[in-house]
Amino acid sequence: MLSLLDLSRRIDAGDLTPAAAIDRTREAIAAREPEVGAFVRVDPAPAVATAGPLAGIAVGIKDIIDTADMPTEMGSPIHAGWRPRADAPVVARLRALGAVPLAKTTTTPFAFMDPTATRNPHHPGHTPGGSSAGSAAAVAAGMLPLALGTQTGGSVIRPASFCGVVGIKPSFRLLPTVGVKCFSWALDTVGLFAAGVADAARALALLADRPGLDLPPTGPGTIRIGLVRQDFCAAPSAAAQQALTRAAMAAERAGASVHDLALPGLFGDAFAVHPTIQGFEARQALAWEYAHHREALPPALRAALDEAQGIETQAYDGARRTAHHARRSLKDVFGDGGVDVILTYSSAGAAPAGLASTGDSRFNRLWTLMGVPCVTVPAGTDDGLPLGVQVIARFGDDGRALAAARLIEQALA
């Protein structure tokens, strides 16, 4: 994989120019893209900045995020060829830092569950996950050092886990969602994919203009980890369970304290209301597409929007109250539970065979609803397909989540 930090070090040392770094990325795309299919388009003649902390870093932009120099098509023929007049703020920030938004990466239509044609770089017969399929696959295949995705259910953490890369879903609204096609305004979160935790931390610190997020790994004896198995939903695969155990043991060897942590029943209730909030908001966010182009919507999304028409306002308001109570109670889980971070599954298992499904987000939805930072770290394989584990911290404590994830990453290595 291409490391953002390695490329930046070589550029800073004068061993590589920003333009040469972009050329190297293009060569990697030419070599791997035919088998992976991660891109909607690649800019044939991008402007390459010669200065800035991300100079020479090519970035993939999920194709629901506006770019002024490339169409933004939402993974749907309904918006084929649509050209925004302006970059989304997160893309404008990348350019200001010297990065090159080089390509638009594939997304499931409107970032829902109908799959793309993108293939898992580790096995072309398996899904890369979704909805940020192209972003995860492009980084995993070594075609990009950094890519943007979004998460409403599990669309950053799960594909990162399936593809064997680091993914971070930051705290809610840490990165702006202006200029991103909305699915659910209470849930949508912009996230990142990178080769390693340190790469992701540097990128997020720069994008959010918060240098404190780029912390060193937590030292021995300074981190308390609560192991959460999320017993209120179906169990993961045996391989996923083994990966979680392996990560917990590695963290303990590195000096962390690890103990089992059971979530109160309220969190099972919150997990259950995520679809109500998502569906009620999606039917409004996609009201124009549903009213004017319903038959052009893919089957899973069309069926979900059909069902969402029946969600009553009282049910939505009740779901929001349940989520609010759970968010407040999560502070007590960290405080009374005596933990700094939670360690849990990134996905129900390795990437499923075939391209008909993007996988199951049951180990992601609760944490998206809570708005807390989540980082997935590769933690082994199952028959050659990657498995990840997920590190979660309190709201706004993204630096601690990244530092703990880096500790686990290094301990597993």
Kindly report the length of the chain: 413
pLDDT digits (tens, 9 = 90+) for 60-88: 999 999 999 999 999 999 999 999 999 99
pLDDT digits (tens, 9 = 90+) for 224-239: 999 999 999 999 999 9
Q: Are strands 39-42 and 58-62 parallel, antiparallel or unpaired?
A: unpaired
pLDDT digits (tens, 9 = 90+) for 236-245: 999 999 999 9
Token look-up 């680091």 returns 166
| pLDDT class of 215 with cuts at 50, 70, 90 | confident
What is residue 343's DSSP assignment?
Answer: E
pLDDT digits (tens, 9 = 90+) for 359-401: 999 999 999 999 999 999 999 999 999 999 999 999 999 999 9
Tokens (6 digits) for 301 = 């999304």
Percent of the chain at pLDDT exceeding 70: 99
Residues 6+ apart with CB under 8 A from 403: 201, 215, 216, 217, 218, 223
* 104 noted as active-site residue: no
* 357 noted as active-site residue: no
pLDDT digits (tens, 9 = 90+) for 146-196: 999 999 999 999 999 999 999 999 999 999 999 999 999 999 999 999 999
| pLDDT class of 96 with cuts at 50, 70, 90 | very high
What is residue 353's DSSP assignment?
Answer: B
Choose, from 8, 76, 135, 155, the residue flagged as catalytic.
155
Tell me which fold the domain 4-213 belongs to: Amidase signature (AS) enzymes (3.90.1300)
Dist CA 223 CA 253 (whole Å): 12
Tokens (6 digits) for 270 = 């919150």
Q: What is the pLDDT of residue 221?
A: 57
* 131 noted as active-site residue: yes
Choose, from 8, 76, 131, 132, the residue flagged as catalytic.
131
Nearest Cα to Cα of residue 368 among 74, 203, 225, 156: 156
What is the value of pTM for the model shown?
Answer: 0.98
Dist CA 227 CA 118 (whole Å): 33
The backbone torsions φ and ψ at residue 50, rounded to the nearest 5 degrees and listed phi first, read -100, -5
The arithmetic mean of pLDDT across residues 268-294, rounded, is 98
pLDDT digits (tens, 9 = 90+) for 110-131: 999 999 999 999 999 999 999 9
Choose, from 8, 62, 161, 181, the residue flagged as catalytic.
62
